[in-house]
Amino acid sequence: MKKLNKRLGKKEDNSVHSKNFNHSIQTNGSYLQKKSQLVTDLLPSLQNVRVSFDAASADTYHQIRVNGQWDQLLENVRWLRKQIDQVAPKCELQADYVVQLGNYKEIPAFVELCKELGIDHINWQKMWNWGTWNQEIFLQNNIYDSTHPKYPELVEIFKKSGQRMSLS
């Protein structure tokens, strides 16, 4: 980068707020307010903030994200939406949702929750087996796989929710 900037006659800018970079943060949302100064300092340089939800209700959240605090997540996302609106209106607030057997029926409710929270975009994601489960349990939960017996039901839920299924 130094050589390219030198050839272009540009001064190098390695700061967080450089216009030469697009930054993103992906978070589970737990510490957004606890790290409020850091978050508000970074927001003007961020293209987006992605918050992982994987649920539309406290019960499902607690099953999928063991030890997660649903009410705290919602409070933190509402706070983040206000911060983005105040200091970084070009920053997009996104929600990540890993679709699986334990949460796929909540997709319509999650779409509505995202509207209420002011989420700009939902990233529907497939499961990946990072060694968390043995292969048999992973295949049972991986409803986003077109060979899963409940996959047609998932397709219908996406259609009825007005959502497009992602390939990622």
- Taking only the tens place, the pLDDT of each residue in 120-144 is 999 999 999 998 889 999 999 999 9
State which residues of the chain have pLDDT below 70. 1-21, 167-168
pLDDT of residue 168: 55
Kindly report whether the global pTM for this prediction surpasses the value 0.95: no
pLDDT of residue 165: 84
pLDDT of residue 24: 93
Contact between residue 43 and residue 84 where contact means Cβ atoms under 8 Å apart: yes
pLDDT of residue 8: 40
In SS3 terms, the chain reads as CHHHHHHCCCCCCCCCCCCCCCEEEEECCCCCCCCHHHHHHHHHHEEEEEEECCCCCHHHHHHHCCCCCHHHHHHHHHHHHHHHHHHCCCCEEEEEEECCCCCHHHHHHHHHHHHHHCCCEEEEECCCCCCCCCHHHHHHHCCCCCCCCCHHHHHHHHHHCCCCCCCC
pLDDT of residue 37: 94
